[in-house]
Chains A and B, each alone.
Chain A
Amino acid sequence: MNFSTPSPEDFYRVMPELLWCGFGVLLMLLQPLTKNRAFLTVVAFIGAAAGTASSLLGVRYAGMGFFGLIQSDTFSLFFHVLVGAVAVLVILAAEPYLSREKLQGAEFYALILFATAGMGVLASAQELLTAFIGLEMSSIASYVLAGYRRDTLKSSESSLKYFLLGSFATAFFLYGIALVYGASETTLLTGMGHVADSQLSLLKLGLALILIGLGFKVAIAPFQIWTPDVYEGAPTPVTALFAAGPKAAAFALLLRIFATVPAATQYWFWAFWILAVLTMFAGNLGALVQNNVKRLLAYSSIAHAGYILVAFAAVTGMTSGESGNAGGVPAYAAVLFYLLSYALVKVGAFTIVSQLGGKDEKYVTLEDYAGLSQRHPVAAAALSLFLLSLLGLPVTAGFFGKFYVFKAAVNSNLIWLAVLMAVNSIIGAYYYLKVIVAMYMREPSEDSAATAPISFPATVNIVLAVSAIGTVYFGLFPNQVLRLLLEKNLIGGLK
């Protein structure tokens, strides 16, 4: 390997990260110079959008970059666009929130951009230490973001919890890297295919620790305990980011490890099977008893991590050679489509929650949502759409997401897992319906201040429109994205 200067193409391959970080730094520099919120928001918006757009550039220069540290391929493009779009939407949705809560704008946006850059690195990392850097970039920014409402107890609690548990997880991840390096004498994913038999158990152990580290980030049971508290305490736009972005990026890394390291796929099948079941039940049963919509959505995002793990189990089940995949959607594509539909919905849903919360996020219980259909019919309709998408009802993106995961599971003969997922969908239906029932079928409590009609700022309406239209569009025409996801060389190392 030649560690001379990287080629110019390499810089195109990390252009999104460069732009995101660059604009992040720029915003922090602008902070002391201007008090103009709108201006800062526009800069942040341009930064996020430019970074996202520039990820298309990476495709032109597909292939390994920086001596095999990162890989630019369709897979990384997909995730760059996904986390970039999430960042754009979160920035738009956060602006009214920040001015309502009287919080600084520039730092907030800068942190979001840094976190997004970290997610971008995670999505294209082809080497474990690079992945670690990406993970840390996104995590550290996230810890700060979670505590951004620093004068409220809950937000500080959220930040501290996230930080402490996140540090543990990172440690696991690092130990894993160390062990894997010990076994394979490389941290490049591509180099881990040929491990001597004597080292195999060490490799397995290392990969297991990596799984734990990433499992924490995506909130897989039994590493999910932090999720509801952190999601609840964090400012709601940040929660939207947490639910959509880091989760997608961490899943991206997991997928890439699968695609490139054969040893990973062979031993993780039962692990994923069990983790999927645990996670689905932990999320759904937890959500059943929630009265706080933010917590409810937090538990639901645990459950959804479980559904995605079902597809992971299908990936591993498939490669162990049980069933062909003729004409179907491979489990990889199922995961990606699921993440897309899920991100759209969660950003939209949390945006509505952040708007309805009012000053200091007071109105977040189901009682506060009662009669919303009369106070703000559009918000009620949009939130219902998002919840129905989470529930997996047809004509929403969530339906196809779930459908493809189901299909992947059935394809790999994981009928029991599919049935358990079905059972969980029913449990999930109950608490999603609870919110819809509150909005449409219950009368608002009369003494509550939350009965006044409300209207949303324009930026929020844009976010909601994008999420809602995206949800319906992908629910009617999933073809467009699938065609991209079904490309043969979706993941660089995938045969």
Chain B
Amino acid sequence: MNSAYALPMLTIFPALGALALLILRSDDHKFIRGMSLFVATAEFLFSLVLIPGVPIGSSGYRLELNVPWISSPPIHFHMGVDGLSAFLVILTTLLTPISILASWNSVQRRVKEFFIMLLMLEVGVVGVFLSLDLFLFFLFWEVMLIPMAFLIGIWGHDRRIYAAVKFVLYTMAGSILMLVGILWLYNATGSFDLVEIQRALQTGALVLPTQTEMILFLAFFLAFAIKVPLFPLHTWLPDAHVEAPTAGSVILAGVLLKMGTYGMMRFCLPLFPVASRKAAPYVAVLAIIGIIYGALVALVQPNLKKLVAYSSVSHLGFVVLGIFSFNTIAMQGAIYQMLAHGISTGALFLLVGMLYDRRHTFDIKEYGGLATPMPRLSAFFLFVALSSLGLPMLNGFVGEYLILLGTYIVHWKWAAWASTGVILSACYLLWAYQRVFFGEVTREKNRTLPDASARERFILATMSVVILWMGIGSVFLTRRTASATETIRKSMERQQWPQEAAAPAPATSAVITLERSGNR
């Protein structure tokens, strides 16, 4: 097989699986589950080719495929992968089989459709990460909405319809303005191809007037900020999370939110550097508000799932802050935090889902002293909570540390404010843990709850291994994302910036520190 077709194959494969499911009989639930698990696992193994596919230190895109699709306007089926997208794809393909396993027993209604939706969601998300044509990107961006909306709307909880509609409307509002932006950009450049547009901008063949650039930046940024979600555009997120079934929440928090931060790194920064720099202080303020606000709301949440949802707002605020500090270390940290958050928050949602399967409530008051009837589950919960609050040696620490370090180098005040989020995250997670698992068993029902089953132990053990590995083996990832980060940062430097010329020292030291951490 020509390696150029690896990426489209990777994107299409789950769709083929979904198609097979659609055709096959729908009454044998066991078979459907097994089949979709097989497809998703195969997809995961397949996606691992991206790791050797993106060698350390390689710049530019790998495994590129660029074939014309529509002649007028010239739209190409252009896909490629670099250090940034490779791991996000792998995160997606890892979380999908995990979600399938997690829904093994909890989904009993319209089983076939459920797994078809999950697989189609995977198609959309993988496509988003791999597309290098703005049009193709937009296409996958929109396509992925529908399966997610269905997942929330059909298999969700009480207010599922409200949450599903809100989710779709919010996302569409942003993305349709992005479409206008994409078209405007096309008018200026005559191309939808990200690589071509970037080249035109870098060589000076195309110079966007500052005002135009600002408007275009906002058109893209708004779509991404809604997805992230950045304060104050976050209100769809708690609703979507609380109402979504466990698998939906895992994918939503694990991957979908990263599409926003990925979009910022892939499109906003390289295409509109001047506007990005101008907007950075405002974005940073919003991100910091998000960090603190998300944490404070999580602190007072009586609903365990909402608590985790708001912790996402807080954690993603860190990612946005890292991206918009334009510092290599912080951006590396942002990428790392995206992956780490995907794993640890995904795992938190899995755990919350397991509790829900047992008691059918998210109310913290309904729990208490669960460590007695279910010691294993509570041990896993503690481990995951610690990783989420950023305990050293676990994955959450690396990302937050790099972000705060990188941001501190450039804007120490930002870092100072943001670091309160770290403290608060310890507060809300540990306090929630204490209320749910420690103390006396307050409800009689909870006394007899079964501990984690073999299937659940397998899921949680997998996630825990990844958490631990990411915490101690972070170099494996940072080495591979370094060149992508560097490329993005460099692509912002085409215009000479007076303030940067005056103080080049931080940027240089950032590179040195990074290289010391085992690079090249």
Tell me if A462 is interfacial: C-beta within 8 Å of chain B.
no
Is B176 an interface residue when CB atoms closer than 8 A count as contact? yes
In the complex, residue of chain A having the shortest beta-carbon distance to the beta carbon of B173: A426
Stretch in A43-51, A107-115, A339-347, A435-443 with 4+ CB within 8 Å of B = A435-443
For chain B, what secondary structure do more than half of its interface residues adopt (helix, strand, loop), or is it mixed?
helix
The answer, yes or no, to whether B343 is at the interface (CB within 8 Å) is no
**Chain A residues within 8 Å of B146, by CB:** 388, 393
Asked if A426 contacts B169 (CB within 8 A), the reply is yes
Given contacts A394-B142, A440-B150, A441-B154, contact A433 B168 (CB under 8 A): yes
In the complex, what distance in Å separates the CA atom of A482 from the CA atom of B72?
Answer: 8
Per-residue CB contact flags for chain B residues 234-246 toward chain A (1 = under 8 Å, else 0) read 0000000000000
Do A406 and B138 have beta carbons less than 8 Å apart? no
Give the contact stretch, choosing among B178-186, B418-426, B476-484: B178-186
Closest to A422 in B: B176
* B164: chain A residues within 8 A (beta carbon): 437, 441
Does B143 interact with chain A (Cβ within 8 Å)?
A: yes
Q: Is the CB of A395 within 8 A of B165?
A: no
Bitwise, A334-353 to B at CB < 8 A (1) or not (0) is 00000000000000000000
**Roughly how many angstroms separate A204 CA and B172 CA in the complex, as a whole number?**
40
Decide: A442 near B138, CB < 8 A? Known: A407-B186, A422-B176, A483-B71: no
Is A327's beta carbon under 8 Å from chain B? yes
Given the known A-B contacts A394-B142, A440-B153, are A422 and B177 also in contact in the complex, defined by CB atoms under 8 Å?
yes
| Nearest neighbor of B71 in chain A, beta-carbon distance | A479
Kindly supply a per-residue 1/0 record for chain B positions 496-508, scoring 1 wherever the CB is within 8 Å of any chain A CB and 0 otherwise: 0000000000000
Interface flag for B161 (CB, 8 Å) = yes
Chain A residues 343 to 380 lying within 8 A of chain B, measured CB to CB, are: none
Contact call A410/B184, Cβ cutoff below 8 A: yes
**How long is the Cα–Cα vector from A440 to B184 in the complex, in angstroms?**
36
Known contacts A394-B142, A395-B143; A415 and B180 CB within 8 A of each other: yes
Q: For the complex, is B73 an interface residue (Cβ under 8 Å from A)? A: yes
Taking a contact as CB atoms under 8 Å apart, the answer to whether A394 and B143 are in contact is yes
Chain A interfacial residues counted at CB < 8 A = 35
**Bitwise interface map of B from 335 to 364 toward A, beta carbon under 8 Å scored 1, else 0:** 000000000000000000000000000000
- Which B264-297 residues have C-beta < 8 A from chain A? none
Per-position contact with A for B182-195: 1 when CB-CB < 8 Å, else 0? Answer: 01101100100000
Q: Are A328 and B73 in contact (CB under 8 A)?
A: yes
In the complex, per-residue mask of A383-410: 1 if CB is within 8 Å of any chain B CB, else 0: 0000010000111000100010011001
Please tell me if A429 contacts chain B, counting CB pairs below 8 Å. Answer: yes
- With both chains docked as a complex, state the minimum distance between the C-beta of A486 and any C-beta of chain B, in angstroms: 6
Alpha-carbon gap, A429 to B174, bound state (A):
13
Q: Which of A424-483 contact B (CB under 8 A)?
A: 425-426, 429-430, 433-434, 437, 440-442, 477-479, 482-483
In the bound assembly, the distance between CA atoms of A340 and B204 in angstroms comes to 41
Instruction: Give CA–CA (A482, B139) in the complex, Å.
Output: 19
Task: Produce 1/0 per residue, B147-167, CB < 8 A to A.
Answer: 001100110000011001100
Tell me whether A442 and B161 are in contact in the complex, defined as CB-CB below 8 angstroms, given that A410-B183, A410-B184, A430-B169 are known contacts.
Answer: yes
A30 at interface by CB-CB < 8 Å: no
Which B residues are in CB contact (< 8 Å) with A259? none
| Contact B165–A437 (Cβ < 8 Å) | yes
Answer yes or no: A254 CB below 8 A from chain B CBs.
no
Asked whether A419 lies within 8 Å of B70 as measured between CB atoms, the reply is: no
**A329 CB within 8 Å of chain B:** yes
What residue of chain A has the Cβ atom nearest to residue B190's Cβ? A327
Q: Is the CB of B70 within 8 A of A403?
A: no
Selected from B71, B142, B150, B153, the residue in CB contact (under 8 A) with A393 is B142
Contact yes or no, A418 B180, CB < 8 A: yes
Interface centre among B138, B177, B184, B187 (most CB of A within 10 A): B187
Name A485's closest neighbour in chain B (CB-CB): B72
Report the tally of A-B residue pairs with Cβ distances under 8 A: 86
B179 near A422 with CB under 8 A, answer yes
Q: Is the CB of B179 within 8 A of A403?
A: yes
| Shortest beta-carbon distance from B209 to chain A in Å | 14
Given A393-B143, A419-B180, A442-B161, CB of A329 within 8 Å of CB of B168: no
User: In the complex, what residues of A have CB within 8 A of residue B145's CB?
Assistant: 393
How far, in angstroms, from A251 to B281 measured CA to CA in the complex? 50
Q: Which residues of A contact B153 (CB under 8 A)?
A: 437, 440-441
Q: How far is the CA of A426 from the CA of B180 in the complex (A)?
A: 13
* Cα A479 to Cα B164 with chains together (Å): 34
Most chain B beta carbons < 10 A, residue from A394, A395, A406, A479? A394
Docked CA distance A429–B164 (Å): 12
Instruction: Select which of B70, B142, B172, B183 is within 8 A of A406 by beta carbon.
Output: B183
- A-facing residues in B75-105 (Cβ within 8 Å): none
Interface residues of B in 2-21 (CB under 8 A from A): none
Closest CB in chain B relative to A281 CB, distance in Å: 16
A contact residues around B70 at 8 Å (CB)? 477-479, 482
What's the nearest-Cβ distance from chain A to residue B223, in Å?
A: 11
**Shortest distance between the CB of B8 and any CB in chain A (Å):** 14
B24 to chain A, nearest CB (A): 15
Question: A33 at the A/B interface (Cβ < 8 Å)?
Answer: no
Give the residue name and chain of the A residue nearest to B183 (CB): A410
Residue in chain A with minimal CB distance to B153: A441
Q: How far is the CA of A388 from the CA of B73 in the complex (A)?
A: 23
**A411 lies within 8 A of chain B by Cβ:** yes
Contact across chains for B142 and A441 when beta carbons are under 8 A apart: no
Residues on A with C-beta less than 8 A from B71 are 479, 482-483
- Tell yes or no: A38 within 8 A of B by CB: no
* Chain B residues within an 8 Å CB radius of A411: 187
Partner of B180, one of A326, A329, A406: A406
Say whether B179 contacts A394, CB under 8 Å. Answer: no
Contacts of B161 in A (CB 8 A): 437, 441-442
* Residues of chain B with a CB closer than 8 A to A329's CB: 72-73
A440 to B116, CA, bound (A): 15
Q: Tell me, rounded to whole Å, the shortest Cβ–Cβ distance linking B208 to chain A.
A: 14
Residue-wise interface mask of A (163-194) relative to B, using a CB-CB cutoff of 8 A (1 in contact, 0 not):
00000000000000000000000000000000
Taking the complex as formed, is B34 at the interface, i.e. its CB lies under 8 A from any CB of chain A? no
Query: Most chain-B CB neighbours within 10 Å: which of A329, A477, A479, A486?
Result: A479
Instruction: Please indicate the chain B residues that have their CB under 8 angstroms from the CB of A486 in the complex.
Output: 72
| Closest chain B CB from A220 CB (angstroms) | 23
| Contact residues in A for B165 (Cβ distance below 8 Å) | 430, 433-434, 437
**B-side interface residues toward A, CB under 8 Å?**
70-74, 138-140, 142-143, 145-146, 149-150, 153-154, 160-161, 164-165, 168-169, 172-173, 176-177, 179-180, 183-184, 186-187, 190
- 28 A–B pairs (Cβ distance < 8 Å), ordered by A: A328-B72, A328-B187, A329-B72, A329-B73, A393-B145, A394-B139, A394-B143, A399-B142, A403-B179, A406-B183, A407-B186, A411-B187, A415-B180, A415-B184, A418-B183, A419-B180, A422-B177, A425-B172, A425-B176, A426-B172, A433-B169, A437-B161, A440-B150, A441-B153, A441-B154, A482-B70, A483-B71, A486-B72
Top-5 shortest CB links A-B: A394-B139, A441-B153, A410-B183, A422-B176, A394-B142
